[in-house]
């Protein structure tokens, strides 16, 4: 029987982390915890099932065992070979390095067949005045940026934006970015761990060593033509039940992310087309499916197998739902059917432009 799958988190102790995941109900190991890989099939941090009959099975083994029953019949064969999405929580107790990620083609050639890394962020909490780096400053060229890097004066070439709880940000490959201190966020991304570091504030690790930079590759992949792009999008909402709404926030060929605001009961259907992931960011409730129910609360993540069938989510909670979309079928058509024009959709849903 297929059921909502929970996983044991994989914790990372990078130097900029803290202890803020405790506020999300996480039971942490001692010391710094920077990232919690919630659902991951990447070799750098493989999730294992934490509940039900598949408890203890690593996610790659589950994909191999269940195949399209888990992944879905409408995703390409590549999704069976590499589970396409990875979910993280990030605790930026200190600022992260300034970095950029490659697209698929560049990563395949230069990173031994690794996927590129398109990602998105949802700001769970942010201290007053918290900022992050989003893009290079308008007017910065590859030549001027390379010169600034050489002189260790990169910060003047970057665009800083203030963020608040509830903000969504699309981070496409090629976008220079960095999370600032005092921010806890959820990240949904392609299954990749390829990061090109440009600047790390001259920090050293616990052994006194500076972290490796990847200047040449970073300059290869930065999207200098996209400087000045819009950062935050409102999203478009659809009523799905009494006092329950979903808002389409970010949609591209790699993932769609919707914000579910549930105050009551909604009905969903895993119809065999594709799996989906939920990250529960506020409140508590339960997922009721044929054969049982699974309690969910803030800080937990769940994978819904593609062929699980109909299910209900009951409670008072907010969640991020993500999946690999057919953009016409899963995004454009539902929004147009709800009365939104194409102009509205492209103006308000990030990633479609």
Q: What is the pLDDT of residues 265-304, one digit of tens each?
A: 999 999 999 999 999 999 999 999 998 999 999 999 999 9
Query: How many other CB atoms sit within 10 Å of the CB of residue 33?
Result: 23
Beta partners for residue 262, in sequence order? 244, 317
Domain check: are 137 and 170 in the same one?
Answer: yes
Domain check: are 266 and 130 in the same one?
Answer: no
Domain count, the chain: 2
Q: What's the rounded Cα separation, in Å, for the pair 312 and 264?
A: 10
DSSP per position, 226-293: GTT-------EEEEEETTEEEEEEEE-SS-EEEEEEEEEEEEEEE-SS--EEEEEEEEEEEEEETTEE
Flag whether 119 is marked binding.
yes
> Encoding tokens for residue 73?
């019949």
Domain check: are 327 and 206 in the same one?
Answer: no
In sign, the C-alpha dihedral spanning 155, 175, 352, 36 is: negative
CA 269 to chain centre: 23
Provide the domain limits for residue 89. Answer: 7-226
Domain check: are 32 and 152 in the same one?
Answer: yes
Flag whether 312 is marked binding.
no
Q: Which of these three, 172, 198, 226, is where a domain ends?
A: 226
Q: What's the rounded Cα separation, in Å, for the pair 279 and 119?
A: 15
Domain check: are 182 and 44 in the same one?
Answer: yes
Domain check: are 272 and 207 in the same one?
Answer: no
Domain check: are 280 and 134 in the same one?
Answer: no
Task: Report if residue 328 sits inside a domain.
Answer: yes
Give me the pLDDT at residue 152, please. 86
Buried b (16+ CB within 10 A) or exposed e, 290-300: eeeebebebbb
Please state, in angstroms and as integers, the Cα–Cα distance from residue 306 to each residue in 35, 138, 190, 270, 310, following that order: 27, 43, 18, 5, 10
Domain check: are 55 and 187 in the same one?
Answer: yes
Domain check: are 147 and 39 in the same one?
Answer: yes
Q: Which of these three, 226, 259, 290, is where a domain ends?
A: 226
**CATH number of the domain encompassing residue 148:** 2.60.120.10
Catalytic annotation, residues: 197
- In this prediction, the residues of the chain whose per-residue pLDDT falls under 50 are none
47 neighbors 38 (Cβ within 8 angstroms):
yes
Q: Which of these three, 226, 256, 290, is where a domain ends?
A: 226
Domain check: are 203 and 341 in the same one?
Answer: no
Give me the pLDDT at residue 202, please. 84
Domain check: are 56 and 198 in the same one?
Answer: yes
Task: Report if residue 1 sits inside a domain.
Answer: no
Residue 37's Cβ-side half-sphere holds a number of Cα atoms within 13 Å equal to 23
Domain check: are 84 and 174 in the same one?
Answer: yes
Task: Report if residue 105 sits inside a domain.
Answer: yes
35 neighbors 14 (Cβ within 8 angstroms):
yes
Task: Report if residue 2 sits inside a domain.
Answer: no
Query: How many other CB atoms sit within 10 Å of the CB of residue 20?
Result: 20
* Strand 256-270 with 7-8, pairing: unpaired
């Amino acid at each position: 029987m297929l059921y909502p799958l929970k996983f044991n988190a994989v914790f990372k102790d990078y130097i900029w982390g803290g202890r803020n995941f405790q506020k999300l109900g996480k039971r942490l190991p001692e010391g710094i915890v920077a990232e919690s890989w919630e659902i991951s099939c990447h070799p750098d941090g493989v999730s294992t099932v934490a509940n039900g009959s598949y408890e203890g099975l690593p996610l790659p083994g589950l994909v191999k065992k269940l195949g399209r029953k888990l992944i879905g019949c409408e995703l390409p064969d590549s999704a069976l070979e590499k589970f396409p999405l990875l979910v993280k929580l990030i605790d930026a107790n200190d600022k992260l390095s300034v970095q950029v990620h490659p697209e698929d083609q560049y990563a395949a050639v230069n990173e031994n067949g690794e996927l590129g890394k398109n990602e998105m962020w949802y700001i769970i909490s942010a201290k007053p005045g918290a900022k992050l780096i989003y893009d290079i400053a308008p007017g910065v060229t590859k030549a001027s940026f390379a010169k600034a890097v050489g002189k260790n004066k990169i910060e003047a070439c970057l665009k800083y934006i203030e963020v608040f709880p509830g903000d969504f940000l699309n981070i496409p490959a090629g976008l220079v970015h960095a999370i600032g201190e005092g921010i806890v966020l959820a990240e949904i991304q392609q299954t990749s761990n390829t990061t090109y570091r440009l600047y790390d504030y001259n920090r050293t690790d616990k052994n006194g060593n500076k972290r490796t930079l990847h200047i040449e590759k970073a300059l290869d992949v930065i999207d200098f033509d996209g400087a000045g792009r819009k950062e935050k999008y409102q999203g478009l909402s659809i009523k799905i039940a009494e006092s329950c709404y979903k808002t389409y926030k970010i949609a591209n060929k790699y993932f769609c992310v919707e914000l579910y605001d549930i105050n009551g009961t909604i009905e969903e259907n895993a119809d065999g087309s594709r799996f989906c992931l939920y990250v529960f960011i506020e409140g508590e409730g339960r997922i009721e499916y044929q054969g049982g129910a699974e309690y969910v609360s803030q800080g937990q993540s769940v994978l819904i197998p593609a062929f699980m069938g109909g299910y209900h989510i009951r409670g008072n909670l907010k969640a991020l739902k993500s999946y690999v979309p057919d953009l016409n079928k899963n995004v454009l058509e539902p929004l147009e059917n709800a009365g939104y024009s194409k102009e509205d959709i492209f103006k308000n849903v990030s990633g479609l432009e």
